Homo-oligomer: A and B are copies of this chain.
């Protein structure tokens, strides 16, 4: 049976493109209305894996998904980088000059902020999905309304591309994580893997410095650090760290066991092959 992979959005969403690129087309992408619904679908085994956006090189982290990683008992088993090129999409026959309102996912709107500002007198309104916004333009049938989404979404819904590559910065890349019920079975070898962890620390001077020492003293390269509020303890934080190495490597295992000496909570979310 073709494996099913859950993603957030409608057919034509960037997440769907990431699913198809990552798994080489030999999967059945399973659309879900929200990130929560993707986590739920994986947990209930309605699909073999899920793919969730975790960070964009311009707009930053998708915090909702950091929070959901903690709330669910799933494993990170892969990552995927997708270059993002946005189009302004309207009804067939609509003119760029006539556009008065632009709808899309808030991240997509943020990534085209400069372009949309230069259009002049155009109202922007966040909706839940990029491809979904194209569907809404078609349903509303208003030639003053446009969506920000992929060329593929325009084609899928029979709509017109009014402008292309409207993202403010050409270095617009979204990083996705692949989530599953079971951990990735093995390391791909020294330097080939990444690990994602989450931990909390006592709120005292030097606590984060000590935590980072377990990596620095072993020359382990951190690729990302993200802090999220620890709910119930105002101004204390959860730290999410990505680093080079697999939990199969003895050095990584020693670093994590050293971190346990300082951390009040430590959870390994998964080791997985680095996307090249």
Judge if A197 is at the interface, Cβ distance under 8 Å.
Answer: no
Whether B205 pairs with A221 at a CB distance below 8 angstroms is yes
**Please, which residue of chain B has its CB at the minimum distance from the CB of A213?**
B209
- List B contacts of A250 (CB < 8 A): none
Bound together, the chains give a CA A60 to CA B58 distance in angstroms of 19
| Cβ–Cβ < 8 Å partners of A219 in chain B | 205-206
Task: State the CA gap A116–B97 with chains docked (Å).
Answer: 40
Q: A64's closest neighbor in chain B, by CB?
A: B110
Q: Min CB distance, A244 to chain B, in Å?
A: 8
* Partner-contacting stretch, out of A131-139, A185-193, A231-239: A231-239
Partner of A208, one of B169, B212, B233: B212
| Contact (Cβ within 8 A) A229 B173 | no
Q: Which residues of B contact A227 (CB under 8 A)?
A: 224-227
Which 3 pairs across A and B sit closest by C-beta, in order of nearness?
A209-B216, A57-B234, A206-B216
Interface membership of A215, Cβ < 8 A: yes
A34-63 CB mask vs B (1 if < 8 Å, else 0) is 000000000000000000000111111001
Q: At the interface, yes or no: A182 with Cβ under 8 Å from chain B?
A: no
* Neighbour of A225 across the interface among B126, B208, B216, CB < 8 A: B208
Q: Evaluate whether A224 and B215 lie within 8 angstroms (CB atoms) in the complex, with A57-B229, A60-B63, A229-B58 already known.
A: no
Count identical subunits in the complex.
2
Closest to A244 in B: B205
> A220 at the A/B interface (Cβ < 8 Å)?
yes
| Residue A155 lies at the interface, judged by CB distance under 8 Å to chain B | no
Interface pair B222/A208, CB less than 8 Å apart: yes
Q: Is the CB of A223 within 8 A of B206?
A: no
Q: Complex: how many Å from CA A90 to CA B50?
A: 39
The answer to whether A232 and B60 have CB atoms under 8 Å apart is no
Question: Would you call B216 and A235 a contact (CB within 8 A)?
Answer: no
Which residues of the partner chain B approach A220 to less than 8 Å between Cβ atoms?
Answer: 205
8 A Cβ contacts from A146-197 to B: 169, 171, 173
Q: Is A228 an interface residue (CB 8 A)?
A: yes
Nearest to A206 among chain B residues (CB) is B216
A237 to B61, CA, bound (A): 11
B residues in contact with A171, CB < 8 Å: 231-234
Residues of chain B contacted by A234 (CB below 8 angstroms):
57, 171, 173
Nearest B residue (CB) for A126? B126
Report the bound CA distance from A55 to B60 in whole Å: 16
Known: A208-B212, A210-B216. 13 other contacts (CB 8 A): A57-B229, A58-B229, A59-B229, A126-B126, A169-B232, A171-B233, A205-B216, A205-B220, A206-B215, A208-B225, A209-B213, A226-B227, A227-B227
